Amino acid sequence: MRPQFLQFILLFFVCLSCQSPSGNESEKPTFDSLFTTPLQKTYPLTAPSEKLLQQYEEAKSAYEQNPEDLEAIIWYGRRTAYLGQYEQAIQIYTEGLEKFPDEPRLLRHRGHRYISIRKFDEAIADLSRAAELIQGQPNEVEEDGMPNAQNIPVSTLHGNIYYHLGLAYYLVHDYEKAYSAYLNCRESGSHYDNIVSSTHWLYMIQQRLGNPDQADALLAPIHADSTVIENQSYADLCELYKGWIPVDSVLQEGPGNPSNDAVQYGVANWHLYHGDTARAKELMEGLIATKGFASFGYIAAESDLMHYFGFPEK
């Protein structure tokens, strides 16, 4: 048996044991859906790749060698979260904040993972504080943990703070605050990937608020000849909202993933705005029947089904 394969097997079972950042074993952690259904968060779809496991081990080693280094803390938390260990990642960021109080990057990442485990109030608290801390500070490109095909980062620290803050407010149906956050997100950078992702949410929010004309006006920055690198799903949805492509052409076949989930959730809302409540509910129910429970489309569908449709029926 090859040494590399043996190493992969060893790392796989180390991750399955779900050790805490301090090294003490704990039970395999779970968190609940909004319907109080336990969700196993370790490897919900497939086992992680050897590359992801190796990157996790490297980040963990870097942190253990220098636990006072901010970058090491951030990447240890990020690599832990990429393995589906969201609560463990939150613990890493929390310990980091004890060393670096009011560090916006730690608050940004912890807020993101609070969304993953459905703790929206905690997410809002972290991301609101992060938004306060970046006022008057220069923006910076945020390095991708999972680079796109062109290896070009398309997001920034400010953009990600406002994006996740807007999402957290959206998930608790505070649409006015969600709208303000997504406006700040769109204004945080001119990269077209940022434009389409923020515009998608801005459009849906105004439709939710019963302002279709304002929703349409928000589509002004969307252009047919613009190029996206990473957020093609959001670009497709924006083109649907512009009326450039038919709704039947947007939905994607195949197993759920964050991109497909974003599209299915967006299309469900499109049907809702056009009065087909039954089809909207059907698409949302189909979405939460998948195992991709950490995607934003999945979590938003959960929230809507519970808030608007009384799901699950008693």
Domain positions in the chain are 51-134+156-189
| pLDDT for residue 147 | 73
Supply 123's token pair. Answer: 């997410």
Residue 30 confidence (pLDDT): 64
pLDDT interval class at 32 (50, 70, 90):
confident
Collect all residues with Cβ–Cβ distance below 8 Å to 97 and sequence separation of at least 6: 103, 106, 107, 110
User: Does residue 201 or residue 16 have the better pLDDT?
Assistant: 201
For residues 90 and 113, the answer to whether their CB atoms sit within 8 Å is yes
Stated as kind and residue range, the H or E segment containing 74 is: helix 70-82
Encoding tokens for residue 69? Answer: 């280094």
What distance in Å separates the CA atoms of residue 273 and residue 210, rounded to the nearest whole number?
Answer: 9
Stretch 67-80: mean pLDDT, rounded?
97
> 42 — phi, psi (to 5°)?
-90, 120
Output phi, psi for 173, to 5 deg.
65, 30
Looking at the chain, how many residues does it have? 314
Question: Does the pLDDT of residue 18 top 60, yes or no?
Answer: no
Using the predicted structure, report yes or no on whether residue 14 has a pLDDT greater than 60.
Answer: no
- Mean of all residue pLDDT scores within the chain: 88
The answer to whether residue 313 scores a pLDDT higher than 80 is no
Residues 117 and 93 sit within 8 Å (Cβ to Cβ): no
pLDDT of residue 11: 41
- What pLDDT does residue 244 have? 97
- Residue 151: the pLDDT is 78
Question: Which pLDDT belongs to residue 85?
Answer: 93
Q: pLDDT tens-digit profile of 107-153?
A: 999 999 999 999 999 999 999 999 999 999 999 999 988 877 787 88
For the cut 50, the answer to whether the pLDDT of residue 51 exceeds it is yes
Superfamily of domain 51-134+156-189: Tetratricopeptide repeat domain (1.25.40.10)
Higher-pLDDT residue of 104, 152: 104
Phi, psi of 25 (to 5 degrees): -70, 145
Closest residue by Cα to residue 266 from 243, 241, 293: 241
